Amino acid sequence: MRSLWRTLLQNHPHDSICGCSIDAVHDVDMAPRFARVRNDGEALAARLARELAPFGNASVVWSTVPWERDAVVVLDGTPTRVRCAALGTAPARRAAGPPVASPEDGVIENESLRVEVALDGSFVVIDRLSGARSGPHGALLDEGDRGDEYTYSYAGPTLGSRDLTGTRRTTVSGDRAKVTVEFVLRLPAGLRDDRLARTPELVTCAVRAEVSLDAGARRVDVRLVVDNQARDHRLRVLCETGTRSLTHVAGAAFAWLERETRVAPRPGWIEQPTAERAVHDLVAVEGATRGLAVGVDGLREYAVLHDGRSIAITLLRAVGFLSRGDLPERKGHAGPALATPSAQCIGEREYRYCVVPLEGEMTLPRAAREIREWLAPPWIGRGDETAHSFYAVEGDAVIQPSALRAGPDGATVARLFNPSREPASATLRFARRVLDARAVDLREGELGLGNTGLDSVRTAAPPDLVDGVVAIRLAPYEIGTYLVRFT
């Protein structure tokens, strides 16, 4: 595991990980490292799952989130709703609950949500209890881009998928309903020779949008496949929030950052700030009574537009230069003036996101859990037919797990964090009775690691131990790391 982390960190110099590098760095160095981490990581996870699962040959469902949940997995070739144990295994059999349905073409439903998908791939979500409508979501917006890898620079005209007519297919398989829409975007091939606008020559970019709804889910999952054949453009997907707000929330690695929706100019800056910002896992806009959270998988740029009414997620930026010195948005170069043809992102690419309407009991912490479950799907393995939970986090839904691993001298390291601006508490239950637990800093009790330059390093509040269960309290935006020993 540590070897895989070291390999992954080799891809994290600031220019490399944010896509501001030459083709050789990305294609020759970074891509093989990512592939190695994924392939070896999946093999390691499969081996550890076999070693940890109690002996048996029955089908079991593995879940890595530390709370119980319902989820849909493919069981004997059919998507099936199952009950998952908190970080552990449970028998792989269908859980009780209403099925999904499709009352008409382009419409899918479960017990909570109704989704209506248009011929252009956009969709609205209707709460079946309140009747509230959310959307439309999923419209594609395409703008010319005369910029470089560092800076977007607009070039017209703007095009998109609204009101296109594609082919639509609705399917229901077990506990998953899906609407697939296929259409073609006809986009300018690139920029004119003067780079001030897009060429009138058009190319076809095939798009397949798969909008799916699982039994028991309070979110709508979307998979997009785009065959990009155009150069010098930015492609984004738009989701309408149904509200306005002066601020919004963006998920970071250990915090939900509250940001101003309107971006104020900064006099004297070489490059003015823009609405485009970084995101880790979710973006949310909350109004007085409703809002929207969008979960992303590997998509790292977003913008909140129109005073909070729209969330735009960047799918791709196709550019041909590391840096250019002729952009109106920036004075001079940001790096070497090198061509980067691979950064035009030609070819087929796949994207995933999900939408969670915010209303009533579906608060941001609950939506964040929906998104966390979507990002960590369970899988089928082998074991005995008894449910086994190795680790459970109970209490305030806002508290998120970060790590659980072997620590020094036979201890176990548990790390959690509070991403919100309010204090939160939780209890940690393990399969074995806890003998002792104490808070440590990020060195996890190995004091020889790192050079902090400080006489003391702050930790979270000491945990309480009650009947073999660990109770923790986390201040706003606090990371808590605990060394746990068992009887």
Give me the DSSP letters along 131-176. Answer: --EEEEEEEEEEEEE---SS---EEEEEEE-TT---EEEEEEETTE
CB contact at 8 A, 232 and 319? yes
- Give the integer Cα–Cα distance in Å for 462 and 8: 33
Confidence of residue 451 (pLDDT cuts 50, 70, 90): low
User: Which residue, of 358, 379, 405, is where some domain finishes?
Assistant: 358
Closest CA to 314 of 239, 412, 218: 239
Confidence of residue 54 (pLDDT cuts 50, 70, 90): confident
List of residues 6+ apart from 451 with CB closer than 8 A = none
Flag the least confident range among 110-124, 185-199, 369-383, 446-460. 446-460
Domain-located, residue 94: no
CB contact at 8 A, 144 and 157? yes
Domain-located, residue 21: no
CB contact at 8 A, 415 and 391? no
List of residues 6+ apart from 321 with CB closer than 8 A = 148, 149, 337, 338, 339, 340, 343
CATH number for the domain harbouring residue 406: 2.60.40
Domain-located, residue 66: no
The reported pLDDT for the residue numbered 19 is 87
Domain-located, residue 36: no
Domain-located, residue 42: no
Q: In total, how many domains does the chain have? A: 2
What's the pLDDT tens digit per position in 203-257? 999 999 999 999 999 999 999 999 999 999 999 999 999 999 999 999 999 999 9
User: Which residue, of 358, 376, 404, is where some domain finishes?
Assistant: 358
The reported pLDDT for the residue numbered 104 is 96
Res. 139: pLDDT tops 90: yes
Q: Are residues 399 and 251 in the same domain?
A: no
Confidence of residue 446 (pLDDT cuts 50, 70, 90): confident
> Domain of 407?
390-486
CATH number for the domain harbouring residue 184: 2.70.98.30
CB contact at 8 A, 63 and 381? no
Share of the chain above pLDDT 90, in %: 88
Confidence of residue 456 (pLDDT cuts 50, 70, 90): low
* E runs forming strands in 344-478: 347-358, 379-383, 388-389, 391-395, 400-406, 412-417, 424-430, 434-440, 464-466, 469-474
Quick one: tokens of 356?
Answer: 């969670």
Q: Are residues 429 and 312 in the same domain?
A: no
The reported pLDDT for the residue numbered 455 is 59
The identity of residue 243, as a single letter, is T
Q: Are residues 352 and 414 in the same domain?
A: no
For range 279-300, the mean pLDDT? 96
Q: Are residues 110 and 182 in the same domain?
A: yes
The reported pLDDT for the residue numbered 50 is 84
User: Which residue, of 342, 358, 374, is where some domain finishes?
Assistant: 358
Q: Are residues 240 and 343 in the same domain?
A: yes
Q: Are residues 295 and 350 in the same domain?
A: yes
**SS3 at position 278:** strand
- Give the integer Cα–Cα distance in Å for 308 and 310: 6
The reported pLDDT for the residue numbered 444 is 86
Q: Are residues 284 and 428 in the same domain?
A: no
Q: Alpha-carbon Rg of the chain, whole angstroms?
A: 24
Q: Are residues 317 and 399 in the same domain?
A: no
Q: Are residues 318 and 405 in the same domain?
A: no
The reported pLDDT for the residue numbered 18 is 85
Quick one: tokens of 37?
Answer: 């981490």
Mean pLDDT of the chain: 95
The reported pLDDT for the residue numbered 277 is 97
Confidence of residue 258 (pLDDT cuts 50, 70, 90): very high
Domain-located, residue 179: yes
Q: Are residues 316 and 394 in the same domain?
A: no
The reported pLDDT for the residue numbered 129 is 93
Q: Are residues 289 and 143 in the same domain?
A: yes
Closest CA to 233 of 266, 274, 190: 190
CB neighbours (10 Å) of residue 424?
22
- Give the integer Cα–Cα distance in Å for 407 and 482: 10
Domain-located, residue 308: yes
Domain-located, residue 285: yes
Q: Are residues 329 and 459 in the same domain?
A: no
User: Residue 235 half-sphere exposure, CB side, CA atoms within 13 Å?
Assistant: 30
